[in-house]
Amino acid sequence: MSGTGAAALLARRRSVRAFTDRPVPREAVAAILASARQAPSGANLQPGRFHALTGAPLADLSGALLAAIAEGRPMVSEYSYFPQPMPAELKARQRAVGFALYAALGIEKRDLPGRRVQFERNYRFFDAPVGIVVTIRRDMGSGCFMDLGMALMALMLAAEEQGLATCGIGALANYGDLVHDVLDLPEEEMVVCGMALGEADVSAPVNGFRTERDTEEVYASFRGF
């Protein structure tokens, strides 16, 4: 599907895990974030802040994260991303997509070191030229996470419209306390996730990986039509 309408952008958008080193100008990043801020929010609270990093600041954050992992620093996350415990049918879906991703990379199921190295690329923002740290005020209600999610989707579509690619990085919250310290964030801000932003490396095998979506019968019902 071609074009720049919302449906076309949604169909084209993918989570990209390999980027070129082509820089993204500040004005382009600012325009993308301005589009994200246009997302609706309850009572116009506009929850969420976006801390965009490139060059040395991004390298410093990634370096600190990788050093912490190497030292065995415990993971600390202030919110639960997945159901606890994970229902069996969802666990099967999680495993299937993980195995499919590693297969696209040529990493065998039992290659635990290879899988670990790939997972750690989250903390390098997949070598994208821009990394965005997304935060929310700790005193925001649960519904504000829904509003922040709409802003993140708007961010992704705005990037897609500019010919850029993104990948959300929920794993960043595993070391939210470290990210908070490195960036010297205000005390009231909680790290929610990261976002890699840049030009997709179309030659990278990992970017050929695609996830499937449920059929209409699974995710929707229609009444009175």
pLDDT of residue 108 exceeding 90, the answer is no
pLDDT of residue 210 exceeding 90, the answer is no
pLDDT one-digit tens code per residue, 45-73: 999 999 999 999 999 999 999 999 999 99
Domain with residue 188: its CATH number is: 3.40.109.10
pLDDT one-digit tens code per residue, 28-41: 999 999 999 999 99
pLDDT one-digit tens code per residue, 146-203: 999 999 999 999 999 999 999 999 999 999 999 999 999 999 999 999 999 999 999 9
Query: Residue 185 has what pLDDT?
Result: 98
pLDDT band at residue 139 under the 50/70/90 scheme: very high
Residue 88 lies in a domain: no
Residues 6+ apart with CB under 8 A from 196: 16, 17, 19, 125, 126, 128, 130, 131, 132, 166, 167, 169
- Percentage with pLDDT > 90 across the chain: 78
Query: Residue 21 has what pLDDT?
Result: 96
Class of residue 158 by CB neighbours under 10 A (exposed 0-12, middle 13-18, buried 19+): buried
Residue 127 lies in a domain: yes
Residue 9 lies in a domain: no
Residue 221 lies in a domain: no
Domains: count for the chain: 1
Residue 222 lies in a domain: no
**What is the extent of the structural domain holding 33?**
14-80+123-208
Least confident of 73-77, 108-112, 122-126: 108-112
Residue 166 lies in a domain: yes
Residue 223 lies in a domain: no
Residue 61 lies in a domain: yes
